[in-house]
A and B are shown apart, each in its own frame.
Chain A
Amino acid sequence: MAILKLFTDKEALRRIRTNDRTILGELFSRNINMIVSYVTQNWGTAADAEDLLQEAIVIVWQKVCTDELRLTAKLSTYLMAIVKNIWRDESRRRRRGEHSPLSHNIIDSQPQTLDSIILDEEAEMVQRGLNGIGLTCRKLLTLFYFEERNFKDIARLMEFASADVAKSKKYQCKNALADILKKMIAEKGNANDLR
């Protein structure tokens, strides 16, 4: 029922804090028309707008999780402000012919910088490393490093007994990931030595 899809900004923030990811699509659908309108009026495409909005939602999500976001305006206004900032930087980069994290989704033909290649490789390596640890560890590490949630929050969301338990688990999970990565790096080094 249509009315059930409606939610207030306050409700949206509450759902983000409780890690209710079902709100992601709703946030996107609610704001995409506004963003497309802005981006296409500023020499961008609808695909650019979609990427920008996704980026903005990710930023909002992180800000809410770290309690950095204090809404003094509507959430849509905040999203639009983020989009405008990213788009301004992105337009500048494109004018200079540079690659950016956003544009690698959009323009494949643009050359990547060394930094972004390294970042992609690191992410790929960590991704493979994450496949070697359990789902619980994966979720815990994402909550801590990506969403930057505190241990109290993590304990609540993952139903650990306390923040200390969460901290201890995170330590173990990270060490497990680090061990896998070290092995991978060593194997990679050996492979390079053989060439």
Chain B
Amino acid sequence: MTCDEIEQFEWHESYLLNLLPEIEKLDYELHLQSCQVCQERLAFEKKIVNGLRAIGAAEMRQEIKAQVSRQPQKNQRPAIYLKLAAAVFILVFSPTIYFLFKNEVEPQKQAESAPVNALNSSEFLASVPPDFSTNIDTEKNEISFLADEPPLIDTILNTDLAFSSPVNQNEVDFADEELFSEPQSAESIAQGAFKPQSFDKSAIEKSARMTRPAEMVAFPTKEWTFQVGETALRILPMQSGLAHEASLDSVRFTIKNNLPGSLTVAFFFQDSLVNSVRSEIEVKTDSNGVFELWFIRQNIGYRFNVEQSVGHAIRIN
């Protein structure tokens, strides 16, 4: 082995990059010990390799900084929407849980005797994010579904399935399966201005427009994504029971088709499983940032508008 051969086959570089086979590496090292010229050439190669690596890393760090500084600073609105969405869904699921356990009680009949003062329950307010709880206008009765709803929220909050605290993300709380009868078909729901329309996951992903007018989704079928204001709402079937990764700027429902005819709905808020209830639901959206959540079995629908600063969750029927 000569210095020229080593140079020709770029062994200095291969040695530095740890690309030499073991036998050749031993030969090279043996030669290196007694060759001053190759030692100097190796030192020079090392300068180039180290320099290029250091420059590459430094440039990448600079690029990260530049990209982060270009990203728009997140304002407070998304956080408000998330809190708002969380609060709205908590409000909606409370009566639902009640219905699931008290399904002998008819919703309409109970609506007449609903306590408006439920909103003033300290336990209820404690479960609502602070920003939202201060916006609840009980005088105007704007969150009308609460006024119309029968369930005593105090009672609901004291049940095991109520919104106790965020639990492990991987846990899904299943209600007693025997309580559930076969769901009504989606067609049995009064559609009103919302027309059923089928679309699949791939169509959503390819579309830049997440919200489509008058769309209706029946579960469990596909994965759905809605853009409501600045809040992304994703509804996805789960295969393993593990939650998909949550994101600070998205709100997701996780729908699990655990048994035929029944669904588990888990609401995730900032990585925490806030609550899970079993129901059969469907979601309808329109282009004005309004979406409706229907509980099929009870034939109850709620209409949300999260674009307003004060959340509205209005019971439709």
Q: Do A and B come from one complex?
A: yes
Stretch from A83-91, A145-153, A158-166, A186-194 forming part of the interface with B: A145-153
Partner of A24, one of B63, B227, B231: B63
Partner of B249, one of A2, A22, A127: A2
Contact with A along B208-229 (1 / 0, CB 8 A): 1010000000000000010100
| Interface residues in B93-144 (C-beta closer than 8 Å to A) | none
Partner of A3, one of B53, B78, B250: B250
A54 at interface, CB cutoff 8 A: yes
Query: How long is the Cα–Cα vector from A74 to B232 in the complex, in angstroms?
Result: 22
Contact between B60 and A3, CB atoms less than 8 A apart: no
The closest CB in chain B to the CB of A51 belongs to B61
Query: How long is the Cα–Cα vector from A151 to B10 in the complex, in angstroms?
Result: 15
Chain B interface secondary structure, helix, strand, loop or mixed? helix
Stretch from A37-45, A106-114, A117-125 forming part of the interface with B: A117-125
Q: Given that A1-B210, A181-B48 are contacting pairs, would A142 and B64 also be in contact in the complex, using a CB cutoff of 8 Å?
A: no
Q: A2, A22, A54 — which one has the most chain B CB atoms within 10 A of its CB?
A: A2
Size of the B side of the interface (Cβ < 8 Å), in residues, is 40
Query: How long is the Cα–Cα vector from A58 to B58 in the complex, in angstroms?
Result: 9
Contact between B47 and A24, CB atoms less than 8 A apart: no
Q: Given that A119-B54, A127-B55, A142-B56 are contacting pairs, would A58 and B249 also be in contact in the complex, using a CB cutoff of 8 Å?
A: no
The closest CB in chain B to the CB of A74 belongs to B245
| Interface residues in B37-54 (C-beta closer than 8 Å to A) | 44, 47-54
A64 at interface, CB cutoff 8 A: no
User: Given the complex, which residues of A lie within 8 Å of B67, measured CB to CB?
Assistant: 22, 24-26, 28
B230 at interface, CB cutoff 8 A: yes
User: Given the complex, which residues of B lie within 8 Å of A61, measured CB to CB?
Assistant: 60
B3 at interface, CB cutoff 8 A: no
Q: Given that A1-B208, A3-B225, A21-B63 are contacting pairs, would A178 and B48 also be in contact in the complex, using a CB cutoff of 8 Å?
A: yes
Q: Given that A74-B245, A123-B58 are contacting pairs, would A29 and B68 also be in contact in the complex, using a CB cutoff of 8 Å?
A: yes
Contact between A181 and B47, CB atoms less than 8 A apart: yes
The closest CB in chain A to the CB of B211 belongs to A1
| Interface residues in A86-141 (C-beta closer than 8 Å to B) | 119-120, 122-123, 125-127, 129-130, 141
Contact between B61 and A146, CB atoms less than 8 A apart: no
Contact between A25 and B64, CB atoms less than 8 A apart: yes
Contact between B250 and A177, CB atoms less than 8 A apart: no
The closest CB in chain A to the CB of B41 belongs to A178
Q: Given that A57-B64, A126-B47, A181-B47 are contacting pairs, would A2 and B232 also be in contact in the complex, using a CB cutoff of 8 Å?
A: yes
User: Given the complex, which residues of A lie within 8 Å of B44, measured CB to CB?
Assistant: 178, 181-182
Contact between A145 and B56, CB atoms less than 8 A apart: yes
Partner of B50, one of A2, A119, A141, A181: A119
User: Given the complex, which residues of B lie within 8 Å of A57, measured CB to CB?
Assistant: 60, 64
Query: How long is the Cα–Cα vector from A142 to B51 in the complex, in angstroms?
Result: 10
Q: Given that A24-B60, A25-B71 are contacting pairs, would A142 and B52 also be in contact in the complex, using a CB cutoff of 8 Å?
A: yes
User: Given the complex, which residues of B lie within 8 Å of A17, measured CB to CB?
Assistant: none
Contact with B along A12-32 (1 / 0, CB 8 A): 000000000110111111000
The closest CB in chain B to the CB of A21 belongs to B63
B57 at interface, CB cutoff 8 A: yes
User: Given the complex, which residues of A lie within 8 Å of B59, measured CB to CB?
Assistant: 142
B191 at interface, CB cutoff 8 A: no
User: Given the complex, which residues of B lie within 8 Å of A129, measured CB to CB?
Assistant: 51
A174 at interface, CB cutoff 8 A: yes
CB distance from B269 to the nearest CB of A (A): 15
| Interface residues in A47-94 (C-beta closer than 8 Å to B) | 54-55, 57-58, 61, 74
B234 at interface, CB cutoff 8 A: yes
CB distance from B105 to the nearest CB of A (A): 39
A-B pairs, 5 with minimum CB distance: A146-B56, A25-B67, A126-B51, A123-B54, A145-B52
27 A-B residue pairs with CB within 8 Å: A1-B210, A1-B232, A2-B227, A3-B232, A4-B208, A5-B249, A6-B250, A22-B67, A25-B67, A25-B68, A25-B70, A27-B64, A28-B64, A55-B61, A57-B60, A57-B64, A61-B60, A119-B50, A119-B54, A126-B47, A126-B52, A129-B51, A130-B52, A130-B55, A142-B59, A145-B49, A178-B44
User: Interface on B for A, CB 8 Å cutoff?
Assistant: 10, 13, 17, 44, 47-61, 63-68, 70-71, 78, 208, 210, 225, 227, 230-232, 234, 245, 247, 249-250
Q: A24-B63, A57-B60, A146-B55 are in contact. List 9 more A-B contacts (CB 8 A).
A: A2-B230, A6-B232, A54-B61, A58-B61, A122-B51, A123-B54, A127-B55, A146-B56, A174-B13
User: Interface on A for B, CB 8 Å cutoff?
Assistant: 1-6, 8, 21-22, 24-29, 54-55, 57-58, 61, 74, 119-120, 122-123, 125-127, 129-130, 141-142, 145-148, 171, 174, 177-178, 181-182
